[in-house]
Structure 1
């Protein structure tokens, strides 16, 4: 016979897991008793930070992350980050401790009442095993569900007295060694028909999403684009690199508003969307979903995503398989693809009132950071300028949350660096976004994670001022952020800090930071980017 704790860690090993992200409480201590020497426990000081770190780690490593949270209170603290992980399609097994079974009926302190309801609807599956002996099988099922397309987080509640219970060793071994292979190819006939339509269309276009990166299909997408002479747009609000942004066929990023997106695709008669929803829209700017004369075909691994699209036909199947089949069957074309426009020029001034322009900041970052840098972006009001200037071409080199919730960027950058220590990681943060996940800096310092954090300081929620213009509202409180000393805060967590007031100072600081051995924060005061949208 064996015990549940031993079976659980054997199960983790069988799934290639040796890192657990967590913030434990008393209900988690029995699981962590005599913690195995071949595992690493990455402590975060707040539960949303823990999930964010696991999110970045899973996306960069291509594995399913394991998260260890504290009963209902800890899970509640983490839920915003779990919502982001669900939108990001990040495979993740989230566990939380539970009161001992003998006390659950009494609803004693730390009992997670109705534990499986709390994380819904953000998780794919939520479960509390009925017996201690069922814990290994429940966690095995969680791994399979989390990693089966469409991938995403799952939740398992684990009573604290389960881990010393005996389990049948042969049953535990059988559970831990099972494999579920989940790559499902789309219908060949449907793909062959689409390939013929692509070949005969006058002006077709590809719109690609994050699943291209998640399935390791960037090179295949490039081959399809080049073979068929197809311009490529990134779908709106995608969180991963879906096509090399320095490739001559790349056109840019589609806007997430209905009317603007349709206008951007004007002139195309066939739109093929692969690995993204049709589409992520916000804000509401109504109009035609497609330009006049255009048809759309959607390829996705998610049947629900296919069903809810407002327009177009859909083919459900694996993104990588679909790209491979399309590339094989499409007729080579000599179509000329128009080049993407040149980057926005830097303003005439270098510094205005002691502040750099965001364009100048991103021009300096693009020059100073190594070519294989992993970029994490959470500077909402400056995202378009970042995308225009920092044209990323390396596989797995970009993370951005598709969920819309702040607090992802900083912990995701820590997790990304832990997943791939050999690549530099640069997190571009707004000074408002930065404060949703400050404790991630402690983890970076405590674990010696050599991360570069660039904070663009404008002392306001600039993106909300932009939305105020769009929504024609005024007098909104709470949009200014005076009196924050971000470098002092970072120093308190143990980071090296700098302030860069010019392009030259920023380039030098970034070069030094990416070559350093610990986390570094660089504060860059910037001009406001709010645009007057009123007539």
Structure 2
């Protein structure tokens, strides 16, 4: 006879989901019992870190991540990271243990009361199977929903006594059918609509392309480049995107749009058609009023997310798979003569001033870091006050090379970098994480050390929440407490978790440390770089 546990593991094998990110509690022990040798369990010391590692792993590999949490308290601890995964459109199946069915009605200790309500609205679907026999089918459905556009996390509550239940012949057949099913997607937009968009692109006097992170996530990078080159379209990156959808070294690339309404519209002035691909319209913050678009400008959004299409405040929208639609669009438009092609507005290399002692300016430090990292580095960024300096010095020129949270919270960087490196051991991973941001997921360092994950963590330490001080000036809110972070010793914290750590004394030393850490690494390394704050600008 086949048990629910055996049927569940066969389903996970069929999905390639044999890596389990978790932090076990008593309600999870039956799921983990006699853990198979062909599975890998990645332990995180706190549930938000567990979800963050799964987020980075799923984005780096393109495969749905599997998470196992501890009933209600574990899900509660993880909620911030689940919100981030939802904002990132990360395919993820989050499971949590539940009290035995015989004691759920009396709400015995560790009962997850209203289990499907707790993770909402951050998950696409939340479910607790009504019978043990339904667990395999529910898990299969969870994978299908997580992977369907728009991708995102889903949740299953699994009572701890379900796994030993034996399936009869009919139930075992049903489990095998659930295991074998596949749900496809990425449909091309209606041809007539794509033809209409092609005509718009060809008749527009000065069209522009705006790309978002979904271009990278959906494998549409080459198609976006081909379209831009065929029509000579200048290309802007949509603001506050977690991935890069166009090579930043390309002569058509213009930069990143400002994330506020008025400045963004001003930046697009002079363009009569804006084609936005794989991004919402737009991620605005902070509030700077103004027109949504310049006078006389038309906008069309291409997205696989119906929600993004519906809530866009301006323009028309096509809901379809990005790659097949862009490929068809590229076939339908005429090639623009070369001499009409747009060129990068400012392709002058950013000058790096001479170092003037410690602490370094953030710009100097990031230039040194960028100069030493290998060309195929996967970059993870969670240093909000330094993101502009980062984009000045680190130009992403290939797919799957940049990860950042789009959810607005902290705790993504350290943990996502560990997950990304586990998923892509063939590429170096460098995580730029602020000293304040690092505290939200500091226990990820233990996982990196325990599993010898060779991430290079670079911490630009300014001893404050610098981005909040900037917002305080912008919003005219003086006298806010709690924005300084004295007394943090990142090197000591890292060593306490088993990660070798160094403190860079100048740009040359920082470059030397980054180069050594990313060349033939033997596990994780943390590098603290004391920096001065460089306020961002809109």
**TM-score, length basis structure 2:** 0.97
The equivalent of 1:451 in structure 2 is 455
Alignment of 1:415-426 (within 5 A): 415-426=419-430
Partner of 2:523: 518
Match of residue 165 from structure 2: 165
8 Å CA contact retained: 1:20, 1:42: yes
1:270 equivalent in alignment to 2:276: no
What does residue 183 of structure 1 align with?
186
**Correspondence for 1:337:** 342
**Is residue 2:420 matched to residue 1:403?**
no
- Report the secondary structure of 2:112's partner residue: coil
The 5 Å alignment of 1:337-356 reads 337-341=342-346, 342-347=348-353, 349-352=354-357, 354-356=358-360
1:531, distance to aligned residue in structure 2 (A) = 6.7
The question of whether the paired residues in 1 share the 8 Å contact of 2:388 and 2:536 is answered with no
- Residues 77-476 of structure 1: matches in 2 within 5 Å? 77-167=77-167, 168-334=171-337, 335-341=340-346, 342-347=348-353, 349-352=354-357, 354-476=358-480
Structure-1 separation of matches of 2:424 and 2:149:
24
Distance 2:205 2:245 in 1: 24
Task: Give 4+ residue runs of structure 1 displaced > 3 Å after superposition.
Answer: 530-533
Q: What SS does the corresponding residue of 1:314 show, helix, strand or coil?
A: strand
User: How far did residue 321 of structure 1 move?
Assistant: 1.4
Classify the secondary structure of the residue corresponding to 2:27.
coil
- Equivalent in the alignment of 2:502: 498
Superposition deviation, residue 532 in structure 1: 9.9
**Do 2:417 and 2:431's aligned partners in 1 also have CA atoms closer than 8 Å?**
yes
In structure 1, stretches of 5+ residues that fail to align are none
Contact conserved, 1:56 with 1:411, CA < 8 A, in 2?
Answer: yes
Question: Is residue 231–residue 341 contact of structure 2 (8 Å, CA) maintained in 1?
Answer: no
Residue deviations 1:476-507 (CA, integer Å, cap 9, x gap): 10000001111000001111111112111011
Q: Is the 8 A contact 1:257 1:281 kept in 2?
A: yes
Equivalence for 1:22:
22
TM-score normalised according to structure 1 size = 0.98
Q: Deviations over 1:98-144 (max 9, x none)?
A: 00000001100000000000000000000000000000000000000
CA apart distance, 1:234: 0.8
- Counterpart selection for 1:529 from 526, 529, 534: 534
CA distance in 1, matches of 2:277, 2:421: 28
Q: Distance in 1 between matches of 2:244 and 2:282?
A: 17
Q: Deviation string for 1:268-322 (max 9, x for gaps)?
A: 0000001110111110101000012100001111112111110001111111111
Sort the Cα spacing of 1:532 and 1:122 in 2 relative to 1 into closer, same or farther, 3 A.
closer
CA distance in 1: counterparts of 2:505 and 2:17, whole angstroms: 43
Q: Give the CA deviation at 1:378.
A: 0.4
Cα displacement (A) at 1:346: 2.2
Separation in 2, partners of 1:450, 1:528: 28
Query: Which deviates further from its counterpart, 446-455 or 176-185?
Result: 176-185
Q: Deviations over 1:6-60 (max 9, x none)?
A: 0111011111112010001000000000011100000000000000000000001
Number of residue pairs matched?
A: 531
Residue 479, structure 1, aligned to residue 444, structure 2: no
Distance 1:302 1:373 in 2: 29
Counterpart contact for 1:124–1:152, Cα < 8 Å? yes
Confirm or deny: 8 A CA contact 1:233 1:252 kept in the other structure: yes
Q: Specify the SS of the correspondent of 2:442.
A: coil
Separation in 1, partners of 2:312, 2:516: 47
Q: Distance in 1 between matches of 2:157 and 2:20?
A: 16
Q: Per-residue CA shift, 1:157-196, capped at 9, x if unaligned?
A: 0000000011222111111011111222111111111111
Matches of 2:438 and 2:28 in 1, distance apart?
29
Does structure 1 conserve the Cα–Cα contact (< 8 Å) formed by 2:385 and 2:533?
no
Equivalent position SS for 1:299: strand
Whole-angstrom distance in 1 between the partners of 2:306 and 2:537: 41
Q: What is the CA–CA distance in structure 2 between the aligned matches of 1:20 and 1:377, rounded to whole Å?
A: 24
Following the alignment from structure 1 to structure 2, what is the Cα–Cα distance between the partners of residues 264 and 91?
A: 33
